[in-house]
């Protein structure tokens, strides 16, 4: 996977000086990051350090207070004097970026199949039959070929999260965002979701993953970003950052995970 992440390759996402304040609280305080096509970037850091806010700024679920964001060929400046995309323009921007959330957030009034079809049918106005073919393939890919007719409440957490991943992938996004997608799962269900994510990474999906699964970061990430108090305190190749952190704050954060990082040698 690391060969996909060669710097100088095709830059898919470029974030420069991104800031986000909620009133007087500044959740993200000047973050810059490049993500290359096909690269897997893992973002780690203590709870409340601004990881979710950073991720939500990338697909504009939050409006950044300042900075510049480029996704694909679209560049947007934020702050005084700049206007945010709105309405259909904003929706189109988001449609190119998939996102998976901690709480799955499946649509409860639709089956697994309906959930996965929802993006293509509602957003892309694709014919139902065509969308169904895509959705069935994706559900089969995440190991849920036999669960297409189930409603979310009839599925385990791990199954729901796999449906959520398929739902996002059905839009054929250029970029996938994962926000602690295994944190709400029972420990025995974490593996099945991480396996799906690993497969996506192997296929060359560009991903930004916020996670506390250090073994996943070690095995799958091309690039690891460590955040603390709204800023990037360290970043680099997974092996360097996770095993030989230079920043004392990274080291102290990672010390809680060292058993996990070392348990399975890459």
Ligand X SMILES: Nc1ncnc2c1ncn2[C@@H]1O[C@H](COP(=O)(O)OP(=O)(O)O)[C@@H](O)[C@H]1O
Pick the binder of Mg ion from 40, 45, 52, 225 (CB under 5 A): 52
Q: Which two tokens stand for residue 261?
A: 């990082």
Q: How far is the CB of 65 from ligand X (least distance, A)?
A: 12
User: What mask, x for binding ligand X by CB under 6 A, covers residues 24 to 43?
Assistant: -x-x----------------
Is 111 a binding residue for Mg ion by CB under 5 A? The answer is no
Q: How far is the CB of 62 from Mg ion (least distance, A)?
A: 12
Please, which residue, 112 or 164, has the CB nearer to ligand X? 164
Please, which residue, 50 or 114, has the CB nearer to ligand X? 50
Pick the binder of ligand X from 39, 52, 118, 161 (CB under 6 A): 52
Interface ranges with another protein (CB under 8 A)? 59, 61, 87-88, 91-99, 101, 103-109, 118-119, 122-123, 164, 167-168, 171
Q: Can you give the binding site for ligand X, defined by CB under 6 A?
A: 22, 25, 27, 45, 47-53
């Amino acid at each position: 996977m690391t060969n996909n992440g060669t710097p100088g390759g095709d830059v898919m996402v470029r974030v420069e000086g991104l800031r986000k304040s909620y009133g007087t609280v500044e959740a993200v305080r000047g973050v810059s990051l490049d993500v290359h096509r096909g690269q897997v970037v893992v973002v780690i850091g203590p709870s409340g350090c601004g990881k979710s806010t950073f991720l939500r700024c990338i697909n504009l679920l939050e409006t950044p207070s300042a900075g510049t964001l480029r996704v694909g060929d679209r560049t947007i400046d934020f702050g005084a004097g700049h206007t945010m995309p709105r309405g259909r323009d904003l929706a189109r921007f988001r449609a190119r970026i998939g996102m998976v959330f901690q709480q799955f957030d499946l649509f409860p009034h639709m089956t697994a199949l309906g959930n996965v079809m929802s993006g293509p049918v509602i957003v892309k106005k694709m014919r139902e039959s065509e969308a169904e073919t895509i959705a069935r393939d994706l559900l089969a890919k995440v190991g849920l070929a036999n669960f297409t007719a189930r409603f979310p409440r009839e599925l385990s957490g791990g199954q729901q999260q796999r449906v959520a991943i398929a739902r996002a992938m059905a839009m054929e996004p250029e970029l996938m965002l994962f926000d602690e997608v295994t944190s709400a799962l029972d420990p025995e269900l974490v593996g099945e979701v991480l396996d799906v994510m690993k497969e996506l990474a192997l296929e060359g999906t560009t991903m930004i993953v916020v996670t506390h699964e250090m073994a996943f970061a070690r095995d799958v990430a091309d690039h690891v970003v460590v955040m603390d108090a709204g800023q990037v305190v360290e970043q680099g190749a997974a092996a360097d950052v996770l095993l030989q952190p230079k920043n004392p704050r990274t080291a102290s954060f990672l010390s809680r995970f060292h058993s996990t990082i070392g348990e399975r040698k890459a």
